[in-house]
Structure formats: C-alpha cells, structure tokens
C-alpha cells in the first residue's frame, strides 16, 4: 500500500499552495499512532484521577494539571501535523532528462542527493531521516519540524510527570519516612503512569540525531544560497518551538 493524498496529485506543491493532506494506510503505523494518542490521553486521565485530585490541594492540582494538559495538547497537535503532512514526497513516474538526478527504480521519481525510497510510503522522500511507525509517516524535509516539536513536547510532558511522582517520594525519604527496608506497595495506576512517562521520555531521545541532522542542514544553508528560513520551513530557528509554528 502506498501513501494517499486527498488531491491525488503527484505534482510538487507550489510555495503558495495550500498544504495537501497526506495519509499512509499502513496497518502497523495506524495501530502505533492510535496507541500514542491512547497512552497520552490515559496518562493525563490517570495523572488527574490518581495523583492530583487525591492531593486535595486545588492550587497545586490546577497548576500542574493545566501544565500537563497544555504539553499533552501541543504534543498531540504536533503528532497530528507530523502524520498528516507530506514529508517531501517526490513526484513519481517522471521521465529522466540528461544531467538530472538518477531515477528511482521503485517509484520512478527523480531522486536528488539526500532523498531515499521508503518501502512503507512507497515514495521517495526528500531529506528522509527515517520512517517512524509511531507517527505513521516518514520524517522528511517538510514535516521534520513537526516531529521535532512532537518529541520535544512529549519529553517535557513525560519529565513533568516523572518529577511529580519522584520529588515527593525523595522528600519523604529525606525526612526518614521510609528507607530501603520499607516494604513497597505500588498502586497499579501510579505504576502504569510511571512506566508510560518513562517510556515517553526515552522515546524522545530520538530527537537527538534528528537535531544533529537539522543543525547540519542549517550549516549547509548558511554556507550556500539556501536561506535559513527555507531550511526551518518558514520559522526563525530561535522561535520554532512556539505554538504558531504548528499553524
């Protein structure tokens, strides 16, 4: 199965045109992407019901609940943009011309340097980094920014939950309320919440090689005729994590 476009057009998108809705009908990718949403939403529900609301401190619960919901919303919004944005698919079935890039033997696209053919999307992707089943899409030139935002907000939300769970425990240990000999009684919802947050934080480590790739592209752009704005998809590199970059 190949990728699907609402416009069903293989022509490259012009700079002023509206973005095409892109979707990859891959069964594993759909399951993984749905699981990402389910885990994020369940994490928020458990954080409120099993940790914040039982504290009976309205200000504490409101501040930390609002912060997590904001980070979770931004993470899911970035996830949706990553999944539904054309990652930079090259037009398929183009006849090669003398002096141009080599033609892909699988999809027939003219493949410039840095482009790779994705066996899941069945298209050649510009500046392809990898195909991520958790966003059910390739990470390429046109959706790299959204994937970076997704991993950033996921890491921040997961770190927030881990701190909420660990700081009171460490404070109780410092006060001598428990030690290594104390029997551990873990509540299932809190254990699930900790495991999900820890996995989310570890998943966000995928952002490190991608940031290195982005910085490499940024350096090439500064040394070449390409603009910094073009590399960062219209955003100032100092302000790309801002919410307006999601619009």
Q: CA torsion 176→182→185→191, rounded to 10°? A: 70
Catalytic residue among 107, 118, 124, 132: 132
Distance CA 78, CA 194 (A): 23
Neighbouring residues of 44: CB distance < 8 A, sequence distance ≥ 6: 68, 69, 72
Cα distances (angstroms) measured from residue 197 to each of 59, 156, 194, 202 = 23, 10, 5, 9
Q: Do 175 and 150 form a contact (C-beta atoms < 8 A)?
A: no
Q: Do 131 and 118 form a contact (C-beta atoms < 8 A)?
A: yes
- Please identify which residue in the block is written with the tokens 């002096």: 99
Catalytic residue at 132?
A: yes
Catalytic residues: 132
């Amino acid at each position: 199965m190949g990728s699907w476009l609402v416009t069903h057009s293989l022509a490259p998108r012009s700079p002023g045109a509206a973005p095409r809705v892109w979707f990859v009908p891959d069964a594993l990718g759909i399951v993984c992407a749905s699981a990402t949403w389910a885990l994020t939403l369940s994490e928020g529900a458990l954080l409120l019901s099993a940790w914040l609301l039982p504290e009976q401190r309205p200000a504490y619960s409101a501040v930390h609940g609002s912060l997590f919901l904001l980070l979770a919303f931004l993470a899911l919004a970035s996830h949706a943009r990553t999944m539904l944005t054309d990652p930079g698919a090259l037009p398929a079935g183009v006849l090669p011309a003398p002096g141009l890039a080599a033609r892909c033997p699988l999809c027939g696209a003219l493949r410039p340097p840095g482009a790779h053919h994705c066996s899941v999307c069945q298209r050649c992707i510009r500046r392809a980094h990898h195909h991520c089943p958790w966003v059910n899409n390739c990470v390429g030139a046109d959706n790299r920014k959204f994937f970076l935002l997704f991993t950033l907000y996921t890491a921040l939300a997961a770190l927030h939950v881990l701190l909420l769970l660990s700081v009171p425990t460490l404070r109780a240990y410092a006060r001598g309320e428990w030690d290594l000999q104390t029997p551990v009684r873990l509540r299932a919802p809190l254990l699930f919440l900790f495991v999900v947050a820890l996995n989310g934080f570890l998943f966000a480590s995928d952002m490190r090689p991608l940031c290195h790739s982005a910085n490499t592209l940024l350096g090439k752009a500064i040394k070449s005729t390409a603009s910094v704005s073009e590399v960062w998809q219209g955003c100032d590199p100092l302000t790309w994590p801002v919410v307006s970059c999601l619009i």
